[in-house]
């Protein structure tokens, strides 16, 4: 996923001047280091990785790619591994509120100091190699995780797979979640093209779990071509839903009574099932018992995914930022009967298929509050409103804060507010919800 680093045109600072700088100063500087925000390729990362002496084979490593569900799967894996008494190191992106959310060790976000020290080591090792913001952060995350002496590393791919910086690290097991069309400029215009890029995280003789029942043919063909053992949902592993629990089966084990995931949405059982298949494939390295699996599924948390906020109003936030995610959000909203009156706060980046997203959610929303998003990838609220099909009621605002404030002001006691469209949109509402300052309208 693309990073929200602010890019400025100014000369690169001397390496020495970056020593003993704050985390914020490091992040600002990294956003100016490379001429392109996105510059896919593995050579730069591999070169600096080797210069840093990062040992990518010391611990089992899980690489997670896909269009949707990556963050949820990392959360499930971390929770189940932790419940089993194992120390997990995880890397995800982007973050919602604090950069530290991206790197977690033992279930906790790492400190500013740990990140700054890792940035210093990356900078010292890179020499004249120019790194993108994401590449710099990926190398630092791998360094933090290795130095923490974890039992297992879980790394989420940022964009695509084949040429993403995370793919510079070798997996013990790969996981490819649900595939949809997103990031067309880099990954292609159809599921087969996207799947081909995601399949780049596969390795010969390394198990790969596929988290959907009908994956793109390009993924299956790639697995056959390089002889990567492939486990596909519904074919090699799966589950059966019961009234108040579900059962999982796979090639190496079966697990009986499993609790519903705490993470909301019917699709989360698909994600949890895929994670169980990953743990089954990891069994030569470590064991995670049934009790730990149950506690991990019930205990997994992730901010910004179908999350109800703790505030007087009923507010649901979801980072749904592509059509596949919008369809999952719509399915979740459709499961509530009787259906309440709903107001949506929506801000979508300019390179997303906003029309398809809005079409998926029109049946579940009564009034729309569109917000302009800033920056080079931002989209004006008026343009967004123009993509709304039919005669739905809408208003436009210059900021997420203003749109959210108006939605709260106009709602009645029993109405819900749904916030979605991008990480930026949800981030700003989360900041408002945790602040004592009321949003301006």
Q: What is the CATH number of the domain that holds 245?
A: 3.40.1190.10
Residue 190: per-residue pLDDT: 86
* Strand order from edge to edge, sheet including 314-317: 307-308, 314-317, 416-420, 342-346, 367-371, 393-397
Q: Please tell me the total count of domains within the chain.
A: 2
Question: Which DSSP category does 63 fall into?
Answer: E
- What is the tens place of the pLDDT at every residue in 317-376? 999 999 999 999 999 999 998 999 999 999 999 889 999 999 999 999 999 999 999 988
d(CA 201, CA 160): 9
Instruction: Indicate if 286 and 234 belong to the same structural domain.
Output: yes
Name the pLDDT band for 60 (thresholds 50, 70, 90).
very high
Instruction: Indicate if 33 and 167 belong to the same structural domain.
Output: yes
Domain boundary among 299, 328, 348: 299
pTM (2 d.p.): 0.89
Q: Which residue has the tokens 């913001």?
A: 133
Instruction: Indicate if 103 and 187 belong to the same structural domain.
Output: yes
Instruction: Indicate if 288 and 315 belong to the same structural domain.
Output: no
Q: 112-126 and 133-147 are packed helices; what angle lies between their axes, rounded to 10 degrees?
A: 110
In contact, 270 and 69? CB cutoff 8 Å: yes
Q: Would 3 be classed as within a structural domain?
A: no
- What is the tens place of the pLDDT at every residue in 31-49? 888 878 878 889 999 999 9
Instruction: Indicate if 228 and 324 belong to the same structural domain.
Output: no
How distant is the alpha carbon of residue 74 from its chain centre? 8
Range of the domain at 357: 307-433
d(CA 367, CA 351): 24
User: What tokens appear for 96 in the block?
Assistant: 């919602």
- What is the tens place of the pLDDT at every residue in 118-146? 999 999 999 999 999 999 999 999 999 99
Instruction: Tell me the average pLDDT of the chain.
Output: 90
Give the other-Cβ count within 10 Å of 224's Cβ: 10
Q: Would 111 be classed as within a structural domain?
A: yes
Q: Would 441 be classed as within a structural domain?
A: no
Which helix (DSSP H) or strand (DSSP E) does residue 278 occupy? helix 267-281
Name the pLDDT band for 185 (thresholds 50, 70, 90).
low
- What is the tens place of the pLDDT at every residue in 146-166? 999 999 999 999 888 899 999
User: What tokens appear for 101 in the block?
Assistant: 């959310």
């Amino acid at each position: 996923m693309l990073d929200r680093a602010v890019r400025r045109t100014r000369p690169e600072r001397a390496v020495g001047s970056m020593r003993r700088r704050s985390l914020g100063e490091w992040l600002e500087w990294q956003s100016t280091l490379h001429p392109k925000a996105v510059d896919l390729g593995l050579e730069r990362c591999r070169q600096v990785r080797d210069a840093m002496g990062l040992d990518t084979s010391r611990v089992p490593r899980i690489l997670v790619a896909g269009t949707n569900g990556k963050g949820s799967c990392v959360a499930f894996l971390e929770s189940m591994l932790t419940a089993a008494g194992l120390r997990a190191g995880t890397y995800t992106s982007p973050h919602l509120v604090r950069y530290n959310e991206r790197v977690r060790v033992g279930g906790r976000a790492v400190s500013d100091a740990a990140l700054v020290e890792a940035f210093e080591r990356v900078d010292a090792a890179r020499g004249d190699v120019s790194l993108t913001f994401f590449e710099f952060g990926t190398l630092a995350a791998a360094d933090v995780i290795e130095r923490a002496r974890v039992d297992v590393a879980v790394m989420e791919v940022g964009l695509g797979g084949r040429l993403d910086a995370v793919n510079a690290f070798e997996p013990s097991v790969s996981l490819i979640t649900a595939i949809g069309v997103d990031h067309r400029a880099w990954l292609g215009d159809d599921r087969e093209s996207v799947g081909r890029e995601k399949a780049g995280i596969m390795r010969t003789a390394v198990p790969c779990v596929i988290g959907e029942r009908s994956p793109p043919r390009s993924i299956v063909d790639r697995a056959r071509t390089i002889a990567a053992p492939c486990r596909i949902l519904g074919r090699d592993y799966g589950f059966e839903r019961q009234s108040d629990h579900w059962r999982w089966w796979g090639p190496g084990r079966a697990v009986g009574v499993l609790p519903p995931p705490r993470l909301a949405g019917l699709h989360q059982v698909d994600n949890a099932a895929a994670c169980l298949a990953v743990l089954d494939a990891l069994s030569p390295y470590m064991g995670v018992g049934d009790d730990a699996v149950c506690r991990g599924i019930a205990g997994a948390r992730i901010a910004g995914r179908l999350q109800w906020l703790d505030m007087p109003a009923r507010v649901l936030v979801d980072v749904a930022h592509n059509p596949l995610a919008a369809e999952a959000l719509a399915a979740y909203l459709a499961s509530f009967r009787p259906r309440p009156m709903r107001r949506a706060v929506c801000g979508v980046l300019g390179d997303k298929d906003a029309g398809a997203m809005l079409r998926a959610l029109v049946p579940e929303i009564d009034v729309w509050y569109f917000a302009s998003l800033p920056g080079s990838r931002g989209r004006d609220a008026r343009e967004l409103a123009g993509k709304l099909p039919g005669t739905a009621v809408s208003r436009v605002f210059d900021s997420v804060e203003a749109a959210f404030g108006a939605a709260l002001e106009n709602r009645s006691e029993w109405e819900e507010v749904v916030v979605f469209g991008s990480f930026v949109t949800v981030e700003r509402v989360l900041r408002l919800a945790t602040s004592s300052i009321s949003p301006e309208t």
